[in-house]
Amino acid sequence: MRRKTFARLAITACGVVALALSGSAAADEQTPQPVLAASVIKVNDGDSIEVRLDSGKARVRMSAIDTPEHDQPYGDRSKAALKAMLPEGSAVELEVVTQDSYRRLVAVVWKVVEGQRINVNETMLREGHAWAYRRYMGDARFCDFEAEARDGKRGLWTQPVSDWIYPPEWRFLKNGEIRTLPTPYAETREQCVAVMGRAGAATYTPPN
């Protein structure tokens, strides 16, 4: 298997960009971040893409949102929504927050169209293609965006409540960390805010 070469986080773009890698994404979301120009090579799923920078290829994980996995309800549709928004060759700007354990850039992705900038992370959330990623966000507005999409029955929120499966819970099940998915309930903004920033934050009532 050929090994792909990806850009490291220390990137030269109009000078050397120095990023502090300590701490969580949530701690840095509300402060100005380095902005890198890039073009989209590939959409991997609903919240991750591959891009080309001046310095080479890089993998990008979109910050503050989490989309259904490919094998869970709505996973394929979430990926399709992002592909429609970011076709190959799309010009984007990355506000880099940090680098994750998989050496992906964690970033706010902005689509650039005729000088206009569209926040792709927020758009995916507002249109109901993603959950607010409770553990890795520091801004309650993401709970607002999710609630608006849920109340408006957009995207994944058109599904039966039984299919409202918070992606980390799905991954816990697949990894054998839990035996069954907890029983889902009608999610609310208040519950989203209550667990914001907590490690392993769940949105479901634990099973008896």
Q: Which of 40, 41, 35, 31 is nearest to 14 (CA)?
A: 35
3-state secondary structure of 84: helix
Give one DSSP letter per residue of 93-128, joined into a string: EEEEEEE-TTSPEEEEEEEEETTEEEEHHHHHHHTT
- Catalytic residue from among 59, 61, 126, 150: 61
Active site residue 134: no
- Catalytic residue from among 69, 146, 169, 187: 69
- Catalytic residue from among 29, 59, 104, 150: 104
Residues whose CB is less than 8 angstroms from the CB of residue 5 and which lie 6 or more positions away in sequence, other chains included: 56, 57
Residue 128 near residue 154 (C-beta atoms within 8 A):
yes
Residues whose CB is less than 8 angstroms from the CB of residue 17 and which lie 6 or more positions away in sequence, other chains included: 10, 11, 34, 36, 96
Active site residue 104: yes
DSSP run (H or E) holding 168: helix 167-174
What's the token pair of residue 144?
Answer: 């607002």
- Per the listing, tokens 């990894």 go with 175
Active site residue 61: yes
Residues labelled catalytic: 61, 69, 104
